[in-house]
Chain A
Amino acid sequence: AQTVTQSQPEMSVQEAETVTLSCTYDTSESDYYLFWYKQPPSRQMILVIRQEAYKQQNATENRFSVNFQKAAKSFSLKISDSQLGDAAMYFCALTGRDDKIIFGKGTRLHILP
């Protein structure tokens, strides 16, 4: 079975600072993909960043980057220059051959002005 664990229910960061959200996962598949999704108050799921497990290079999307440690099954999200609009629920997620997305429990991120 695939599992995704987020151990930080809530986090706060000062505006313009950097914050890192943690995530660990477990899967028996060799080909899989990892994601970070953002869910703002509107509850629309927004894909923030994606990492292919076969790629060693960490994915980056503007202010968002990941630290993918495959051996440790760790996949953290770093948000640089935090903005008020980054406040949301963030879900770490995993998918394999069957396309099912398994989500972690989420981390609520607060941005302090």
Chain B
Amino acid sequence: GAVVSQHPSRVICKSGTSVKIECRSLDFQATTMFWYRQFPKKSLMLMATSNEGSKATYEQGVEKDKFLINHASLTLSTLTVTSAHPEDSSFYICSAGGAGEPYNEQFFGPGTRLTVL
């Protein structure tokens, strides 16, 4: 099956620094990638849609200047948490979709645990 990787799997950073999380589709080209945030024992909350070669579209309430998304190629999307604060600590999951029929099945990465001190 299709494989999506995320790097790093966990990261600890100091408040005020920026952190970059990578999402890669390893064996397929992803026209669209999605970024989710999951708080402990909670559901996945969609943050933004990352489209290759164009600007990301953000869900309501998500700060685009705080969470920068770049989808530079059909196999890589990055999420940069800028000027991180402790409240940004969370589990971030990406999903990548191909161009399938009848719909673009999404494949999920293993997630990245971010802890901001």
Instruction: Report A's interface with B, CB cutoff 8 A.
Output: 33, 42-45, 52, 91, 95, 98-106, 108
Contacts and interface: CB of A to CB of B under 8 A. Distances in A.
Interface of B: 32, 34, 38, 41-44, 46, 49, 91, 93, 95, 97, 102-104, 106, 108, 110-111
Contacts of B106: 95, 99, 101
A100 B108 CA distance: 13
A102 B6 CA distance: 21
B110 A42 contact: yes
Nearest to B46: A100
Contacts of B103: 33, 95, 99
21 contacts: A33-B103, A43-B38, A43-B111, A44-B110, A45-B44, A91-B44, A95-B103, A98-B49, A99-B34, A99-B49, A99-B97, A99-B103, A99-B104, A99-B106, A103-B43, A103-B44, A104-B43, A105-B42, A105-B43, A106-B42, A106-B43
Given A33-B103, A99-B104, A100-B49, A45 B43 contact: no
Nearest to B45: A103
Contacts of A102: 46
Contacts of B41: 108
A99 B32 CA distance: 9
Which 4 pairs, one residue from A and one from B, show the smallest C-beta to C-beta distance? A45-B108, A105-B43, A103-B44, A103-B43
A96 to B, nearest CB: 9
A44 B5 CA distance: 11
B111 A100 contact: no
Contacts of B49: 98-100
A21 to B, nearest CB: 14
Contacts of B97: 99
Most buried by A among B49, B93, B108: B108
A64 B104 CA distance: 23
